[in-house]
């Protein structure tokens, strides 16, 4: 059954349940986390998330998924999970164990919102789901709804059944490539003609820091990006990956029959959002798990010691120093630290961009953290929109407070912080105002941060 558990943004890597380090990680949260040990106890902890609530609605009869043509229950499932069709991205590399279904002519479709991801392959008897869970980090599910043919039409063989998957999925989705916690990865590979991976070639785990030329190998990409090059839309020919002819594609109809897909696109902007969001989720989960582990261990070692709350004690100072380091790692991800600069304007789907922005909350001037820039960077106001998410809200209160304190300190700096040179005074002020007006409870203590010396 393990083959059904390779979730949508699938990686191939070392199998590990306890991961001593994460990709490119040097920070305090690179400590080993055994997710099956207390306090995480992954397999023993009940799920409570968007998908588990959908399962409850289906089992109670409140909700019934509907079948629709060749895509089966896909459209109905996306609607119930509040996932826009415009988020569709397509991957043709055989980086899933559903290799028998995936090819350049039959790519895998991925759809997502701020906390949930759905994977669908044309002709496959299953769909895959993963979602944020406040206690589990990421929870994984499969939807079994094998179709059968009747009078030339595909009809459901049985009602769809959504099942949570645990250990088998974690053998691939809790590795160093997902920062050592249950999570997801957008991987860029060098694909062969049939979608197989050229295993001797370098592959990349991509996020907002990745240069465009390392992104999207094994993926389809639609949209304009000027003279910049990427690895998508192409495969090895004579040992060479052509990154010129694959560029600036507006249509994929020459590659495969797009008719049975929900849209004919694999939008470049949606791909960039997907890259940022998956690693941002991983960073939040890793930070939360690390803090929970430290609180748990301290309680065992010193059951009567409350020095972590006393900044004047030596242990309390050490605790606070570790907390600040952990918070900085989250703030780095939130503020797009070391984001790769665009050399040309990027233009993607108007539908995706407009629907994505409309899902955001705005300040009194109509500004939102979801507004795109796409001239030199991804967002106009580079602070992750996931600060508004359930994943951020679910951080342990002490950790969330430390993150907001560090974020307020950076944004209230009198000069442009050396660590965040892309945040000039006008951008810092805009982000600060947006957060104050849209997250007043989180920013109530920022007046204290503003009295500090503005350095980072």
Rounded (10°) angle between helices 350-358 and 268-301: 40
Residue-level pLDDT at 317: 85
pLDDT (average), residues 102-116: 96
CA 98 distance to own-chain centroid: 21
Instruction: Determine the pLDDT at residue 452.
Output: 47
**Site of tokens 């094998």:** 146
Residues contacting residue 53 through CB under 8 Å, at least 6 positions apart? none
**What region, left, alpha or beta, does residue 270 occupy, with left being phi > 0 and alpha being psi -120 to 50 degrees?**
alpha
Whether the pLDDT of residue 190 is over 60: the answer is yes
**Do the beta carbons of residue 450 and residue 408 sit within 8 Å?**
yes
Locate 40 and state its tokens.
Answer: 């995480």
pLDDT tens digit sequence for 221-245: 999 999 999 999 999 998 899 999 9
Q: Which of 168-172, 274-278, 438-442 has the highest mean pLDDT?
A: 274-278
Helices 425-438 and 397-411 pack at an angle, to 10 degrees, of 140
Read off the pLDDT band of 257 (50, 70, 90): very high
What backbone torsions phi and psi does residue 94 show, to the nearest 5 degrees? Answer: -85, 60
The per-residue pLDDT for 310 is 52
pLDDT digits (tens, 9 = 90+) for 39-81: 999 999 999 999 999 999 999 999 999 998 889 999 999 999 9
pLDDT at 318: 87
> Of 390, 385, 388, whose CA–CA distance to 442 is shortest?
388
* Range of lowest pLDDT (88-92, 384-388, 410-414, 443-447): 443-447
Check residue 372 and report its DSSP letter.
B
Q: Which residue has the higher pLDDT, 315 or 326?
A: 326
**Which token pair is 155?**
């009809």
CB-facing half-sphere around the CA of 285: CA atoms within 13 A: 30
The two tokens of residue 213 are 């030329």
């Amino acid at each position: 059954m393990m083959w059904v558990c390779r979730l949508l943004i699938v990686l191939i890597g070392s199998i590990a349940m306890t991961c001593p380090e994460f990709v490119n990680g040097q920070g305090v949260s690179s400590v080993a986390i055994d997710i099956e040990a207390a306090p995480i106890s992954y397999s023993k902890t009940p799920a409570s998330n968007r998908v588990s609530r959908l399962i409850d609605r289906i089992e109670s009869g409140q909700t019934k998924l509907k079948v629709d043509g060749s895509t089966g229950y896909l459209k109905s499932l996306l609607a119930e999970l509040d996932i826009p069709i415009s988020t569709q991205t397509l991957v043709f590399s055989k980086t899933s164990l559903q290799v028998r279904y995936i090819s350049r002519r039959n790519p895998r479709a991925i759809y997502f919102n701020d906390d949930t991801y759905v994977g669908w392959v044309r002709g496959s008897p299953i769909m895959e789901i993963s979602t944020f869970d406040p206690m589990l980090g990421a929870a994984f599910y499969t939807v079994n709804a094998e179709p059968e043919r009747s009078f030339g039409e595909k009809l459901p063989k049985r009602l769809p059944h959504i099942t949570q998957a645990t250990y088998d999925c974690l053998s691939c989705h809790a590795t160093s490539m997902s920062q050592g916690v249950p999570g997801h990865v957008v991987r860029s590979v060098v694909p062969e003609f049939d979608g197989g991976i050229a295993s001797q070639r370098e592959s990349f785990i991509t996020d907002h820091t990745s240069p465009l030329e390392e992104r999207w190998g094994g993926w389809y990409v639609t949209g304009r990006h000027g003279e910049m090059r990427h690895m998508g839309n192409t495969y090895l020919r004579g040992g060479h990956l052509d990154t010129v002819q694959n560029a600036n594609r507006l249509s994929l109809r020459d590659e495969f029959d797009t008719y049975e897909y929900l849209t004919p696109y694999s939008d470049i902007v949606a791909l960039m959002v997907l890259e940022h969001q998956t690693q941002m989720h991983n960073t939040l989960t890793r930070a939360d798990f690390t803090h929970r582990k430290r609180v748990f261990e301290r309680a065992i070692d010193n059951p009567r010691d409350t020095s972590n709350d006393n900044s004047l004690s030596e242990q309390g100072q050490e605790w606070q120093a570790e907390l600040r380091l952990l918070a900085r790692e989250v703030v780095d991800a939130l503020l797009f630290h070391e984001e790769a600069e665009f050399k040309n304007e990027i233009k993607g789907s108007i539908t995706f961009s407009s629907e994505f922005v409309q899902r955001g909350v705005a300040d009194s001037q109509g500004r939102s953290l979801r507004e795109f820039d796409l001239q030199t960077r991804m967002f106009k106001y580079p602070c992750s929109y996931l600060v508004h998410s359930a994943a951020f809200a679910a951080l342990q209160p002490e950790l969330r407070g430390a993150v907001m304190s560090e974020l307020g300190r950076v944004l209230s700096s009198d000069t442009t912080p050396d660590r965040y040179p892309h945040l000039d005074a006008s951008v810092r002020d805009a982000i600060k105002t947006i957060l104050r007006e849209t997250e007043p409870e989180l920013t109530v203590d920022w007046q204290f941060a503003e009295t500090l010396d503005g350095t980072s």
